[in-house]
Structure 1
Amino acid sequence: MRIKYSIPIVFFVALVIIEKENNIISRVSDKLALKQTPQTPVQSSRSANTLPKRNVSVTSQGKLSSAFMLMKRRLEDYSDYQPAAAVTTRRKNILLLATTRTGSSFVGEFFNQQGDNMFYLFEPLWHVEKMLTLETGGTNATAAAKAYRDVLQKLFLCDFSLLESFIDPLPVDHVTASLFRRGSSSSLCGEAVCSPFVKGVFERYHCGNRRCGPLNLTMASETCLEKEHRAIKSVRVRQLEMLRPLAEDPRLDVKFIQLVRDPRAVLASRMVAFAAKYKNWKQWATDTDVPIDDDEVKKLKSNCNSIRMSAEMGLRRPEWLRGRYMLVRYEDVARFPMRKAAEMYKFTGIPFTPQVKAWILKSTQASKEAGGIYSTQKNSTEQVEKWRFKLPFKIAQVVQKVCGPTLKLFGYKFVTSEEMLTDKSISLIEDIL
């Protein structure tokens, strides 16, 4: 009898010892990797009090920095914390985080095109930002971050009541004709939420696929509750740390996908899309040297720092983010859209449907005439290199100076001459795949 019970006990103790050793090795490995990661002090006054200062170590050009090596390893093994079965039926919430002109509208369509089991919202936080800016004359970063988080939490629960309080003019009986980019969400233009058309009521962001009346947010909430999964795209959340309550909310199963792009390409795109706001950059590109202490340059540096620090946190995989964070470069999506979409779907645990695959195939092979600067239908491979022929070398140098740590972390190569910038035979993207 003793032998009968002693064998299972010995086996169990051995398993416990092995598991503890594996955990110790994993923790030591992560600490060693992080110890080698070059880090930089935060210049932004917004985040100086909340995040530790870091020092930069400069690596020679042509070699991958240890920071990029860490990112590459994290991207390769992000699925380590996934369950054995890649696809589950549990309801998923997905938050796509990005900044403007990073291809987030295009990537957001990967989920918008999913079909009847996905409820997708396009930039609902636009209303929050606009209202806070109107009331204060500027946006307090801490207050805005809390408001963004609270609204997102309610929306993932299909509760539109908090968002309503930020819509201007205020909805009447939960009906609004002013929801930002309603037409960019197939969920808000479906038959279930298409109320009768009201003559004389103008809806700026109307549905393009059918003629509907103003949006009834109660109906939208009911439709949301009927969907199996929910996805929200936002370019307004700056710090990943502020979203921790969402990850720890037992009612939600939320996963974060952070989309990044070469800061030089982002600036080049913004100078075209938002010409009035970037007129100083246009002037600097042609007339004078760029004043490094100018507010516009400081803002660029602050944005780069925010993006980098959020990515560093996600790649460190703190306990609350394990299995919940994925970093994606736009350049990889543009070059390998089907492959990267499949990876994102595997990460979220949602089936990658033929409907999404068909949309990707159609939209990434669009002709040069298709769409405009806001279009999601473009030849995606061409988009990767276009900025190199639009951004002056002088401006590229400024971006490299103020966003250097960000470029290194994400694996973007520096250019040392105008010839190198415009030579398409030289790739400026370190390969991860």
Structure 2
Amino acid sequence: MKSRRRWRFRWQHRRFALGLVLYTLLLLLLDSYMLDYGARRGRAGEELPPPPPPPRHCPSLEEALGDWNWDEQQQPPPPAAGAENASEAAGPGSQAGGKRHIYLHATWRTGSSFLGELFNQHPDVFFLYEPMWHMWQALYPADALSLQGALRDMVRSLFRCDFSVLRLYATPPAPRDPLAPFPAVFSAAGGKASHHNLSTTSIFGWRTNKVICSAPLCRDAPRTRADVGLVDGAACERECPPRALHELEAECRKYPVVVIKDVRLLELGALLPLLRDPQLNLRVVQLFRDPRAVHNSRLKAKQALLRESIQVLRSRYRAEPRGLPRRQLPLPPAAAALSGIGVGGRAHPLHRADFFLGGALEVICQAWLRDLLFSRRAPAWLRARYTQLRYEDLVREPRAQLRRLLSFAELPVPPALEEFVLNMTRGAAYPAAQQPFRISARDAREAIHAWRERLSREQVRQVETSCGDAMDLLSYPLSGEEGKRAEAGRGRSSPPPHPG
């Protein structure tokens, strides 16, 4: 009897618990149904549209950069007239109204430092040398593709003369400015770099920057801002004390044209939001060079370019989910020996740098190809803000190309600057042991063909295999075609790939 009563008692408790659970579930279902029903009826008694479909996967390349196919009617309005964009904000001697911003889009060892120096010499230009270097150093080893968004945001801030963004990246243990021979900023104790004291002597290639090394920022400067000629870096370091960032920002706002030269933008499409901004009034100059000459120059500076080449090479694998074109090139035995890959796929330490630099160049050439294809499909208003330049054309016809560039930027052409560009490309000789990243007068015409004597046939073949499509669009003949084209067009330079 006792066991039967105990069993009945337990069963009643179980039935009660089960009923409570079922009742709770019924209330939850009823409540959710009433909320959904009320939401669909709405205040006016009309049913709301169905919920949006679930999000799609990551966009393909065509979708991500589809803005190149904008219609002509979607042209952004002209910049609004205001104090910031008005001609009265321009410095003395300016003949163009409105604030303009120019981005020099290039890659390593294409002659971008020389191109940037031409704008650095112009008296109406505020020039910024490779500000994204700090970002890449601080975020290493992030791949180049992942940094595109942050790079674009940094460009927008810098073009608005807001340099505070540099404090996010120029922090310990970030290295110093790429052109400074010694750490530029020191704290009072320990001699370590301090981001709190970030000043003009740590950014924008300050030792050769005409704005930083001239009055009013440098009162004892040996030369004025209007004087055309290379800045003596030692004299600037000796005579020009550090100035606060807000003083440099104030000076930036006085100039009608702000130019940024950098080599770390992998895709031109990353700048599309900035090109659409009418208040920014952005224009892009993209610099190209024969990939064989680029590879030859990169090999001479392999140790300085190793870290960033690894970042570029890592982008090849990041690009796979986005559907970007990727070409797998099997290495022949000669190329494997050249790059140091032997038995078991191990690379010899002495040749690893060559292997990384060659792989990075393949990624760069694929990015060139995408930029060239998209620029050809761009609407007229966007083409008006974009132009292309080959390094070979610049050094063969320095005055003509200088006039074209300055016309694109709506800048006057000082006669002294014409003489400068001619003298810089007609030096006595091309020094084989030229220090990388330093600008000096040289026979740049000889530098065009220096790769023929320094690269092996296997190296040339590898570059042409990786970059052949881009070379074809840029009118760079392959090795077997050079002799035929040379006789047909002897004494004439190829036209620029984009009339811009």
The TM-score normalised by the length of structure 1 is: 0.69
Q: Report the Cα offset of residue 355 of structure 1.
A: 3.0
| Aligned: 1:410 with 2:474 | yes
Cα deviations by residue, 1:295-340 (Å, 9 ceiling, x for unpaired)? 6544332111012212222232246623110011111111111111
SS of 1:121 mapped into structure 2: strand
Q: Partner amino acid for 2:61?
A: L
What does 1:31-70 align with in structure 2 at a 5 Å threshold? 50-52=60-62
Q: Partner amino acid for 2:105?
A: L
| Aligned: 1:326 with 2:387 | yes
Number of the residue aligned with 1:346: 407
Match of 2:271 among 230, 233, 243: 243
Cα deviations by residue, 1:101-143 (Å, 9 ceiling, x for unpaired)? 000011111111111x21001111101111111xxxx214444
| Separation in 2, partners of 1:347, 1:338 | 14
Number of the residue aligned with 2:99: 91
| Separation in 2, partners of 1:401, 1:413 | 13
Match of 2:456 among 381, 392, 399: 392
Match of 2:261 among 227, 233, 250: 233
Q: Is the 8 A contact 1:88 1:349 kept in 2?
A: yes
Number of the residue aligned with 1:188: 212
Cα deviations by residue, 1:223-250 (Å, 9 ceiling, x for unpaired)? 1011121111010111111111211223
| Aligned: 1:160 with 2:167 | no
Q: Partner amino acid for 2:199?
A: V
Q: Unaligned stretches of 5+ in structure 2?
A: 1-57, 64-94, 172-192, 222-232, 310-330, 346-354
Q: Is the 8 A contact 1:95 1:254 kept in 2?
A: yes
| Aligned: 1:132 with 2:139 | yes
| Separation in 1, partners of 2:430, 2:465 | 35
Q: Report the Cα offset of residue 162 of structure 1.
A: 0.8
269-278 or 307-316: which moved more?
269-278
Q: Is the 8 A contact 1:412 1:430 kept in 2?
A: no
Q: Report the Cα offset of residue 410 of structure 1.
A: 0.6
Cα deviations by residue, 1:19-63 (Å, 9 ceiling, x for unpaired)? xxxxxxxxxxxxxxxxxxxxxxxxxxxxx964249xxxxxxxxxx
Higher relative contact order (CA 8 A, sep 6+): 1
Q: Report the Cα offset of residue 408 of structure 1.
A: 0.7
Q: Is the 8 A contact 2:429 2:443 kept in 1?
A: yes
| Separation in 2, partners of 1:49, 1:427 | 44
Q: Is the 8 A contact 1:195 1:214 kept in 2?
A: no
| Separation in 1, partners of 2:426, 2:336 | 34
SS of 1:355 mapped into structure 2: helix
Q: Is the 8 A contact 1:113 1:359 kept in 2?
A: no
Q: Is the 8 A contact 1:113 1:355 kept in 2?
A: no
Provide closer, same or farther for how the CA distance between residues 401 and 427 of structure 1 changes in structure 2, counting only shifts above 3 A. farther
Q: Is the 8 A contact 1:114 1:355 kept in 2?
A: no
182-191 or 102-111: which moved more?
182-191
314-323 or 397-406: which moved more?
314-323
| Separation in 2, partners of 1:187, 1:150 | 24
Provide closer, same or farther for how the CA distance between residues 174 and 238 of structure 1 changes in structure 2, counting only shifts above 3 A. same
Q: Report the Cα offset of residue 99 of structure 1.
A: 0.5
SS of 2:449 mapped into structure 1: helix
Q: Partner amino acid for 2:115?
A: V
Cα deviations by residue, 1:368-425 (Å, 9 ceiling, x for unpaired)? 27764432421222221111111111100011111111111111111139xx79x987
Q: Partner amino acid for 1:122?
A: Y
Number of the residue aligned with 2:298: 270
Q: Partner amino acid for 2:363?
A: S
Q: Unaligned stretches of 5+ in structure 1?
A: 1-47, 54-86, 198-204
164-173 or 365-374: which moved more?
365-374
Cα deviations by residue, 1:245-267 (Å, 9 ceiling, x for unpaired)? 21122321111000001111100
What does 1:422-433 align with in structure 2 at a 5 Å threshold? 431-432=494-495
Q: Is the 8 A contact 1:367 1:378 kept in 2?
A: yes
Match of 2:129 among 101, 122, 125: 122
Q: Is the 8 A contact 1:334 1:383 kept in 2?
A: no
Identity %: 29
| Separation in 2, partners of 1:390, 1:164 | 42
173-182 or 407-416: which moved more?
173-182
Number of the residue aligned with 2:54: none
Structure label with greater radius of gyration: 2
Number of the residue aligned with 2:110: 102
Provide closer, same or farther for how the CA distance between residues 414 and 262 of structure 1 changes in structure 2, counting only shifts above 3 A. same
SS of 1:187 mapped into structure 2: coil
RMSD: 3.6
Q: Partner amino acid for 1:352?
A: V
| Separation in 1, partners of 2:281, 2:235 | 30
| Separation in 2, partners of 1:88, 1:212 | 30
| Separation in 1, partners of 2:356, 2:400 | 40
Provide closer, same or farther for how the CA distance between residues 307 and 49 of structure 1 changes in structure 2, counting only shifts above 3 A. farther
Q: Partner amino acid for 1:147?
A: A
Number of the residue aligned with 2:376: 315
Number of the residue aligned with 1:382: 446
Q: Partner amino acid for 1:368?
A: A
Provide closer, same or farther for how the CA distance between residues 425 and 286 of structure 1 changes in structure 2, counting only shifts above 3 A. farther
Cα deviations by residue, 1:277-305 (Å, 9 ceiling, x for unpaired)? 679x9x96795588799765443321110
Provide closer, same or farther for how the CA distance between residues 329 and 277 of structure 1 changes in structure 2, counting only shifts above 3 A. closer
287-296 or 380-389: which moved more?
287-296
Q: Partner amino acid for 1:364?
A: T
| Separation in 2, partners of 1:289, 1:150 | 37
Provide closer, same or farther for how the CA distance between residues 348 and 176 of structure 1 changes in structure 2, counting only shifts above 3 A. closer
Corresponding pairs, count: 337
Provide closer, same or farther for how the CA distance between residues 270 and 142 of structure 1 changes in structure 2, counting only shifts above 3 A. closer
SS of 1:208 mapped into structure 2: helix
